[in-house]
Amino acid sequence: MAIRDNAIGGLFMITFVCAACAMAEASGSGGSGGIFDITKLGAVADGKTDSTKALQDAWAAACGAAGQQTVRIPKGDFLTGPLKFRGPCKGYVAIQLDGTLLGSNNLQKYNGSNWVEILHVDNIVITGSGTLDGQGAAVWSDGCKILPNSLVLDYVNNGTVSGIKLVNAKFFHINIYKSKVVTVKNVTISAPANTSNTDGIHIGDSSEITVADATIGTGDDCISVGAGSERVNIQGVTCGPGQGISIGCLGKFKLENDVRDITVRDCVLRNTTNGVRIKSHEEVLSPLVVSRVAFENIKMEGVANPIIIDQKYCPENTCVENRKNKNQVTIKDITFRNITGTSTTPEALSLLCSELIPCSGIELLDVNVEYAGKDNKTMAVCHNAKGLSEGSLQALACL
């Protein structure tokens, strides 16, 4: 998984030349309760005609008006290139997505940016029963290109994403960066198991983020919580296939912020390569602390590696050469409570911490995951981890 949190800067200056005419054509005349229907602004529901301009015009009009405003995307298939929904807005904007947006596969149009970007917007709601279809299949083989994330929330304060489906993103499905008080709930995210970097939801440098009641299955992490994340609650997520729910990868970039107060509870992981994990690079560019993380009430169903802390995770063969410092990631006060089910490899638990900064305050409480195969016994591999085990399977009680 590659992280591209900060791929979007303040690079885009969009001028909305047609804001005035969009306003005139919208069913609301601009005041409170305006509805800006993209089909009334020139969008064509044939899945082929580029409807980018209609969407931008609808946004400009809704964002420019005071009170409650709605950008309406009715049923039908609408093709679009990159969309920049930039704030601040005068009032409260909701995007009512009932149709399907199809992400253009003309990569030149994106020029390194994402597909649907919500930038510097407060009080935004994205809801409906519609779909964001990234149409990634056409570009996944271009592994070395920078591909657009599907839905990006950048510098959003008080946002909700609910009801919608996201499928086949070219890169991450949802990326939340530098945002506060955002809830993602009742969403479904899917991409084939054999795709890379199709993470479900990535969170970075954000606080008070909730992900609830989501069904996520892709080729990469269902949810990844990156550096600078605080007060993140993940609850009621069904994950699989994919690589599980992960904190990290950490230590990849310079001056990363700490990660703390993360809760993952009431989740089911089904047929994933990993279950719940914390991963960091062995040699990092600057010190970082991960603390107060709780994984509770988690069911593993046929998960290859259910519980992992790995301070020596290093996906790129070259990365060690670039790093001068030794491990400086502190991992402490991590609780695994009431974790049950089956693993498809004997190693149901692995805590691989560094000699330099051992993991501390690790609690294994009622951890009962068993190897589902015949030949071997369930086992744990633990290095440099300190803490306590209670009520857990004997073979896993390595602390």
Shortest spacing between CB 144 and ligand NAG, in angstroms: 14
Shortest spacing between CB 54 and ligand NAG, in angstroms: 21
- Sheet containing strand 379-383, strands side by side: 83-86, 116-119, 151-154, 174-177, 201-204, 223-225, 245-250, 274-280, 305-310, 347-352, 379-383
Which amino acid appears at position 110 of this protein? Y
Shortest spacing between CB 154 and ligand NAG, in angstroms: 15
- Residue carrying structure tokens 């990631």: 329
Shortest spacing between CB 287 and ligand NAG, in angstroms: 31
Q: Kindly tell me which of 158 and 233 has the beta carbon lying closer to ligand NAG.
A: 158
**Contacts of 21 by beta carbon, 8 Å cutoff, 6+ apart:** 57
Shortest spacing between CB 288 and ligand NAG, in angstroms: 29
d(CA 399, CA 395): 11
Shortest spacing between CB 2 and ligand NAG, in angstroms: 16
Q: Kindly tell me which of 170 and 281 has the beta carbon lying closer to ligand NAG.
A: 170
Q: Kindly tell me which of 158 and 263 has the beta carbon lying closer to ligand NAG.
A: 158
d(CA 314, CA 345): 21
Q: Kindly tell me which of 276 and 357 has the beta carbon lying closer to ligand NAG.
A: 276
Query: Read out DSSP for 243-307?
Result: S-EEEEEESSSTTPPPEEEEEEEEEEEESBSEEEEEEE-SS-SS-EEEEEEEEEEEEEEEESEEE
Q: Which residues bind ligand NAG (CB under 6 A)?
A: 11, 92, 111-112, 123, 125, 129, 140, 158, 163, 186, 192-195, 241, 271, 297, 299, 302, 338, 340, 345-346, 373, 375-376
Shortest spacing between CB 352 and ligand NAG, in angstroms: 18
Q: Kindly tell me which of 52 and 345 has the beta carbon lying closer to ligand NAG.
A: 345
Distance of CA 29 to the CA centre of its chain: 37
**Contacts of 274 by beta carbon, 8 Å cutoff, 6+ apart:** 243, 244, 246, 303, 304, 305, 306, 308
Shortest spacing between CB 181 and ligand NAG, in angstroms: 8
Q: Kindly tell me which of 58 and 331 has the beta carbon lying closer to ligand NAG.
A: 58
Q: What ranges in 115-230 are assigned the alpha helix state H?
A: none
Q: Kindly tell me which of 263 and 360 has the beta carbon lying closer to ligand NAG.
A: 263
Contacts within 8 Å (CB) and 24+ apart, 50-55: 50/79, 50/80, 50/81, 50/104, 51/78, 51/79, 51/80, 52/80, 52/81, 52/82, 52/83, 53/18, 55/80, 55/83
Give the pairing of strands 157-162 and 151-154: unpaired
